[in-house]
A and B are shown apart, each in its own frame.
Chain A
Amino acid sequence: MSEKTTEQVEFFRPDLFSTTPYPHLIAGHCRSCGKYTFPKYYACPACFSEDLEDTPLSPRGKLHSFTIVRRSLPDYPVPYALGLVDFPEGVRVMAQIETKNFEELRLGMDMEVTIGVVRKGKDGRDILSYKFRPVSS
């Protein structure tokens, strides 16, 4: 699942995102019927085709809903914002939202993908993965 890159940090599911040429998510795309999923499944949920490819998602989507999590599972430093973002390809993805000000969050606002710390690992190291942040105006 995870891959060590340096002594200090660890990435969770590096197969699901890329930073080149800009931060974006990697979804599954069915070559047979065109359906997108995140993450990629083993067979297409719409047509059962196994002809699936990794494909970059648009870097931006719209905030469907969010919450500020104040009590959570162990290893997740609270509080943090958690959101659902709708991408133009028709997938809705859940991830944490990076913001210095929870008050700025609004349903429907434009969000972009970024990479950041999602939790602490068992050994205390930061675990990084995909996150969202409001598109700066």
Chain B
Amino acid sequence: MRDVYILGVGTTACGKFPDKPAHILGREAAWAAIKDAGIHPRKIEMAFCGHVYQGMGVGQRTLKEIGLVGQPTVNVEGACGSGTLSFWEAWRSIAYGQCDIALALGVENLSRILSGGPLPLEEDDVEVAMGMSMPALYALRAKRYMEEYGVTPEQLAKVVVKSRRHAALNPIAQFRKEVTIEEVLNSPMIADPLTRTQCCPIGDAAAAVVLCSEDLVDKLATKKPVKVLGCVAQSGKYSDPQKLVCDPSENVTRTSKLAYEMAGLGPEDIDVAEIHDAFSIAEMLVYEALGFCEKGAGVRLIEEDRTSLGGDIVVNPSGGLLSRGHPVGATGLLQVAEIVWHLRGEAGARQVEGAKVGLIETMGGAQPAMDGITCVVSILGV
């Protein structure tokens, strides 16, 4: 297996862009990533495009706009993990020698298909038929977690306060206005205990990453190359109610363990992380699953501001899904771009000083009796 490096990243802003279909957003991000990499577009040998709702051939439709035709282009779907699943595909294509230079792209325009409300899910799924939405699923997790560990609604709301404070410093974030705990708790209730501001918004964006092999990095790199230290994708397993007390995190725990092993690092080595905070509760659950703290202690990291800018393990400096936004197929690559900017020292006002190692966790979907659909964890370093 060869080492793989990130040469360039590019994104659009996150927000509602009903006049920009996915391929229009996507071409902007792909072109920006290629420019950032400083390579000729023709050098890209393979492309992967993560999306969920954007229809047939969206990767080809996007790349046609910038002349990237002919090469193998694979459209990748893994629910909300689609973006980082496309990153994983690009990484492994290089790591295992199928090509030297690949493009990972993620695109999504949700505002053209949804005016608001929860994401549409598969109607044949029995839990969806019973009235499950993604907010309702996370609300069930939140209710159980809060009772088991004595977490208050105010503590849950503090996740959003941190998220908005970070996003205020991020020029591409969808929500850049700071909020108070009271404002979070007073926003309309979606599914108890989750209020609207504790749910990620409907939004649109695209993001792209150019990767290359260790054999070419010295020759091609025009900026500080970022090394992929670990990259692991896993699907959900059957959850076992006898063992897992509302533990939706088995998939994240398992995937991150494998990623830490591949990188030869542990949670204590991570300086900055972008994680899948689709709902306020998810942030605490993921802290625990990634080993940033013991089970039940996620709330203390929030209470003690350890994951805020200036803390010892900064999580979601971009504002995360809650505030930067969650354009589902693009999300994973927005996360990758954010970590690359921090590792290069290009993150502006929200820069985590001296960041050397960053982690990206993306979690996709829900299935009855299973712990999610896809989880991808990557560890990057300089």
Is A76's CB under 8 angstroms from B131's CB? yes
From B120, B130, B190, residue with most partner A Cβ within 10 Å: B130
Say whether B126 faces chain A, with CB atoms less than 8 Å apart.
yes
Is A118's CB under 8 angstroms from B120's CB? no
Say whether A115 faces chain B, with CB atoms less than 8 Å apart.
no
When C-beta atoms are compared, the residue in chain A nearest to B196 turns out to be: A71
Say whether B136 faces chain A, with CB atoms less than 8 Å apart.
yes
A75-92 interface (Cβ within 8 A of B): 76, 80, 82-84, 86, 90-92
Is A73's CB under 8 angstroms from B369's CB? no
Say whether B63 faces chain A, with CB atoms less than 8 Å apart.
no
Is B369's CB under 8 angstroms from A91's CB? yes
Say whether B192 faces chain A, with CB atoms less than 8 Å apart.
yes
- Residue from B127, B136, B144, B189 in contact with A72 in the complex, judged by beta carbons closer than 8 Å: B136
Is A72's CB under 8 angstroms from B118's CB? yes
Contact A95/B130 with A70-B191, A71-B135 known, Cβ cut-off 8 Å: yes
Q: Which of B74-82, B235-243, B289-297, B306-314 contacts A (4 or more CB under 8 A)?
A: B235-243
Is A13's CB under 8 angstroms from B129's CB? yes
Is A67's CB under 8 angstroms from B143's CB? yes
Q: How large is the interface on B (under 10, 10 to 19, 20 to 34, 35 or more residues)?
A: 35 or more
When C-beta atoms are compared, the residue in chain B nearest to A61 turns out to be: B241
Interface contacts (Cβ under 8 Å), in number, total: 104
- For the complex, give the distance between the alpha carbons of A69 and B239 in Å: 23
Interfacial chain B residues near A119, Cβ < 8 Å: 129, 131
When C-beta atoms are compared, the residue in chain A nearest to B190 turns out to be: A71
- For the complex, give the distance between the alpha carbons of A38 and B193 in Å: 27
Is B129's CB under 8 angstroms from A67's CB? no
Is A90's CB under 8 angstroms from B241's CB? yes
Interfacial chain B residues near A12, Cβ < 8 Å: 129
Least CB distance from B120 to A in Å reads 7
Least CB distance from B141 to A in Å reads 7
- For the complex, give the distance between the alpha carbons of A76 and B191 in Å: 13
Is B120's CB under 8 angstroms from A107's CB? no
Contact A70/B129 with A64-B246, A107-B147 known, Cβ cut-off 8 Å: no
Contact A86/B241 with A69-B191, A71-B188 known, Cβ cut-off 8 Å: yes
Interfacial chain A residues near B142, Cβ < 8 Å: 67
Is B136's CB under 8 angstroms from A92's CB? no
A49-104 interface (Cβ within 8 A of B): 64-74, 76, 80, 82-84, 86, 90-92, 94-96
Known contacts A69-B136, A82-B140; 19 additional CB pairs below 8 A are A12-B129, A13-B129, A67-B139, A68-B191, A69-B131, A69-B135, A69-B139, A71-B117, A71-B188, A71-B196, A72-B136, A82-B136, A83-B140, A90-B240, A90-B241, A90-B242, A92-B369, A96-B130, A107-B143
Which chain B residues have a beta carbon within 8 Å of chain A's beta carbons?
117-118, 120-121, 124, 126-133, 135-136, 139-144, 147, 188-194, 196, 238-242, 246, 368-369
> Would you give 26 A-B contacts (Cβ < 8 Å), ordered by A?
A12-B129, A37-B238, A65-B141, A65-B246, A66-B140, A67-B136, A67-B193, A67-B194, A68-B192, A69-B190, A70-B190, A70-B191, A71-B191, A72-B133, A82-B136, A84-B140, A90-B240, A91-B241, A92-B239, A94-B127, A94-B130, A94-B132, A95-B130, A107-B143, A118-B130, A129-B130
